[in-house]
Amino acid sequence: MHDIRAIRENPAAFDAALARRGAEPMSSSILELDAERRAKIQAAEAAQADQKKAAKEVGAAKASGNEAEFERLRALVGEKKAEVADMQNEAKALDQKLNDTLMGIPNLPFEDTPEGADEDDNVEVHRWGTPGEYAFAPKEHFELEGVKPGMDFETAAKLSGSRFVVLSGAVARIHRALAQFMLNTHIDENGLTETWTPVLVKPEMMFGTGQLPKFGEDSYETTNGWWLVPTAEVTLTNTVNGETVDEATLPRRMVAHTQCFRSEAGSAGRDTSGMLRQHQFEKVEMVSITKPEDSRAELDRMTECAQGILERLGLAYRTVVLCTGDMGFGAQRTHDIEVWLPGQNTYREISSVSVCGDFQARRMNARFKPSEGGKPEFVHTLNGSGLAVGRCLIAVLENGQQEDGSVVLPEVLHPYLGGKTTLAADGSLV
């Protein structure tokens, strides 16, 4: 959410930043609405002052025995009271309209966020590892002989419909091992605090991180008003919702492994094969709450945390900075990490790390109290996948595939698999 004072002070800069996102100028209509709201508030305050003045005069008229004046003033007080109530209601409606307008405007990009229209304008900034070479045509994950016994889409479709999967046996164990490996690495080496959170949240929490009101169709709402989280970003970030925390407690660096739920609205026909794009999936999510001056450096630190997981797994990847036209609603700058998938012969997103500045904090009213005193300030928030577990499973299976359909597994996973090193062609761990 945007600061109306900043728009008042520099409307041209606000419009210029929106233009970089491909949006039309909005400062004029916003400031016109703001001026109307402020004028209505001032008129209500003036009418209330007149009401109070008339109320005092009523008492004086009564005391003097001037019955006619008493009745006139009493009627005037009633009129002013109704007038004040109407004006306050109108001001409240205008305030809500302004708030709703500001809620629907995307965050403003950093100056160093590349400008562009879509994913073709994203900028690669880092690459690690070399895609493997195979003496055979590499297959996609769901085509591998060793994977087929443990990856069941037909049963999932019977249970729930399309874009679901049932994992079992060795494949389920590898999936779980990946999540454990990610968590342990982030906790023991990257200094994040493990956090377990609900997957059902109040709508206010979805508003806080920007999923509502604009993107409700992308998530699932229950019949009693709860929402299923599309990512643990929602719960982890909202731990400071409505709070004023001490500066000494920042930065707060959290990590959670949760189920995530997305409707995949607008993705009809895309990635329908395999488990690349699912309605229900698992993710290890990182969230940081920082002071304003620390958030840009924290973006780079979080990006390195996510990259480190892939490096430990020996998976080739590249990191791109999303352009203004491809960046998410709440982000100022986003680093997408894309892992190499030999079965598709391309890089695919496995992590997205974003800095949001005070955009979410304003929606949540989340602040910190400076240690040296002074007025509380809004915190800055960041979020990023560390990593998407299902997509990481896909990458491990495809990159480790052998010609007979077996999969050689990354060494770092061996301790989590009881010392087993390979997913055999018959679907067992050996």
Token pair recorded at residue 34: 């703001």
Q: Are 108 and 18 in contact (CB under 8 A)?
A: yes
Q: Where are the beta strands (DSSP E) in 277-358?
A: 280-290, 317-321, 333-341, 346-357
Token pair recorded at residue 384: 């990023």
Q: Residue ranges for the binding site for L-serine?
A: 231-233, 262, 285, 383, 385
Burial class (CB in 10 A: 0-12, 13-18, 19+), 59: exposed
User: CA 417, CA 422: separation in Å to the nearest integer?
Assistant: 10
Token pair recorded at residue 226: 């709860």
Q: How many CA atoms lie within 13 A of 375 on its CB side?
A: 2
Q: Are 329 and 103 in contact (CB under 8 A)?
A: no
Q: Is the peptide bond preceding residue 109 cis, with omega within 30 degrees of 0?
A: no
DSSP 8-state symbol, 135: S
Q: Are 94 and 39 in contact (CB under 8 A)?
A: no
Q: Is the peptide bond preceding residue 144 cis, with omega within 30 degrees of 0?
A: no
Q: Residue ranges for the binding site?
A: 231-233, 262-264, 285, 349-352, 383, 385
Burial class (CB in 10 A: 0-12, 13-18, 19+), 43: middle
DSSP 8-state symbol, 271: S
Q: Find the angle CA(120)-CA(315)-CA(332) to the nearest 5 degrees.
A: 40
Q: Residue ranges for the binding site for ATP?
A: 262-264, 349-352
Contacts of 7 (CB under 8 A, 6+ apart): 14, 27, 30, 31, 34
User: CA 69, CA 57: separation in Å to the nearest integer?
Assistant: 9
User: CA 273, CA 141: separation in Å to the nearest integer?
Assistant: 10
